Structure 1
């Protein structure tokens, strides 16, 4: 039920990811204005993520996820409708509220899986959970291509609204989640807070677990939210075509992901994470440098090929990086780490979006921004390599009994 619920919620998320920037560009928004709206979404998550993670630590996750599942499509619809208003304040409030709503659902998802799935099924369960975004991207991308091309030519706004209405089905499936959750912490003793129960060893492990995420997130924030703008402005790719190639890239993600448990079993975390990510960084460089010869007829095919190959290489490492992080920090810290990682992604994308806007205002080409992303990715890959070695050397963190 969790996977099905996430799948339908991702329909709205994916539609906004694929099409929102195109919709804003059609309305005349400049790069810096678009980046400012995106940064507001991430800023809201920054403010909310850490206290939220502390609050749900050791608590039942089902009710929180259900609340997020109903609020996310509501604020997704309001976000789209707010674009028609002339009030920047209303627009930013909707962007921020949508980001926080998605956080309510998304952050508890991984800890919930690790609480309810058998240990031997963790890798497979996490991989399946990660595939909902790919399956949603495939479905939405193909539908958008047919809705926006040929004789149909549906309006972008109506397409966005339709997929966000479909997202309400996610809440229906989450209502059927099992009520019983393992390892729900009993009421804390008087005067004890979530923060006070975090010990020195917790902090040390949490720090090592989140450092690679921070580096990858900072780099990604400079490029990933705006990659459709790169294709639109450098290579002249239409929104329907970008959606189609985005969908096809996630076919490769889903195919590659089926081999993740096998890669982990036979080759280990190092190959499954740092090996795939290293090749992905090289492919990203190939993608970005197509701007140098964008006028050549082969530039767009190379860029699209690199885009489609990079997706599975970077995305398929996700289940394993999550598993490594969650094992390293221990069971009682998983909700906290999931929330902190969400804050890191949003915080990094908040500042990176602002930096992107400034760089574009100064006329910095997309290629140099993408190369900066690749350089920061390299540091993140090194961080994951060190985290894997620490997990191998120190082992999983066995939780102390929580009073």
Structure 2
């Protein structure tokens, strides 16, 4: 493994960091901005759901586009749509413009997510692929941490300069315009990306050459999505309701959790060197299960805080290694399709379990409801680990043994 990458890779990583800052700013202020526009909770729910809907609907068309015009050109279109969508959102005067802006943002995200992994895989080899995927994830997480910490200052600075209310529409619009600026800055290095590999001008844009491997790779992520959607979106509600923690303390807690994840992601290449890719994924994910149980069932805030840091860092740190393994296992022409199918499967699992989580919390009291939900999350995470072990790790070991015999 090595930290030496081509100029193409460094251009892509520069864009990733800038996009991460933009996303952190937008996520931090979106609901406050919508409220300042006069949109009620129902409108806020619709607009928050649109990016996931856009990504699910456009993932497969994004695969076709990437195969026909290359991953690099697809990334350029996605980055441009992301900048346009953020600008439309920042300048919107009502719900229609906000919906259009967020939908365009989601379309851009679908293109960049489908093409990003294959682009990195095509510009690396097995020696530095895990390192690159880990670095990309760490940059996104670190940008999120920095964006959350610094983003809160923008409305205050705007209010001080204009003698206005920091919670007013003008101050919040200024924050989203800063997010737009970061999107545009990230677009500049993307414009320097060059295509690699072969394009497919017609006919079989959705064909999958290795269907069995793709199914075995996607299944564990479906299970994780089904488990995570039941509890992870509602951790703020859980911690605040159980321990009466202030919103400010919650924000700091989640920001530092992001930083812990970024640090752990950077350690993953060393773990891969000693264990191998799949064994590293299994070890890290299995180690996270006791901390997930501590997070859900501990009666003490300090234990829940420690578990939140450790579980998030361990579980999320496995993602880049797993993605790098998938890109290595699959043939080049299947890589964009894997990114798309994986995105669709994850979003469907997450959305379904989030809806069911709301039903459970509505039917049961606070404590019993979260006991059931954390039990479900533990079961799904454990099932995902078993799916990786039996579907990928054991088969990889059997294949290596067979090749030695022959």
TM-score by length of 2: 0.80
Q: Which secondary structure does the structure 2 equivalent of 1:312 belong to?
A: helix
> Could you tell me how far apart the structure 1 residues matched to 2:103 and 2:241 are?
27
Match of 2:256 in 1: 248
> Could you tell me how far apart the structure 1 residues matched to 2:46 and 2:256 are?
30
> Could you tell me how far apart the structure 1 residues matched to 2:100 and 2:82 are?
14
C-alpha deviations, 1:343-377, integer Å up to 9, x for none? 11222233233333434444563623333222211
Confirm or deny that 1:109 pairs with 2:100.
Answer: no
Match of 1:349 in 2: 350
> Could you tell me how far apart the structure 2 residues matched to 1:77 and 1:361 are?
37
> Could you tell me how far apart the structure 2 residues matched to 1:352 and 1:203 are?
26
8 Å CA contact 1:58, 1:332 repeated in 2: no
Q: Which secondary structure does the structure 2 equivalent of 1:167 belong to?
A: helix
Confirm or deny that 1:286 pairs with 2:290.
Answer: no
> Could you tell me how far apart the structure 1 residues matched to 2:304 and 2:131 are?
32
Match of 1:52 in 2: 62
Displacement of 1:59 in angstroms is: 4.0
Match of 2:172 among 125, 141, 157: 157
Match of 2:190 in 1: 174
C-alpha deviations, 1:123-152, integer Å up to 9, x for none? 111111111221112211322466689x98
8 Å CA contact 1:222, 1:369 repeated in 2: yes
Match of 2:225 in 1: 217
> Could you tell me how far apart the structure 2 residues matched to 1:310 and 1:92 are?
34
Q: Which secondary structure does the structure 2 equivalent of 1:44 belong to?
A: helix
Q: Greater CA deviation, 156-165 or 261-270?
A: 156-165
> Could you tell me how far apart the structure 1 residues matched to 2:43 and 2:297 are?
25
Aligned residues: 376
Q: 1:226 to 1:11 in 2, by over 3 A?
A: farther
Displacement of 1:287 in angstroms is: 1.7
C-alpha deviations, 1:279-299, integer Å up to 9, x for none? 223212222235xx4xxxx42
8 Å CA contact 2:86, 2:179 repeated in 1: no
Q: 1:229 to 1:94 in 2, by over 3 A?
A: farther
Confirm or deny that 1:139 pairs with 2:146.
Answer: yes
> Could you tell me how far apart the structure 1 residues matched to 2:288 and 2:86 are?
31
Displacement of 1:313 in angstroms is: 0.3
Which residues of structure 2 form unaligned runs of 5+?
Answer: 1-10, 401-406
Displacement of 1:378 in angstroms is: 1.3
- Aligned alpha-carbon RMSD (Å): 3.3
Displacement of 1:11 in angstroms is: 1.7
C-alpha deviations, 1:75-102, integer Å up to 9, x for none? 23545676x74x5x76655544332221
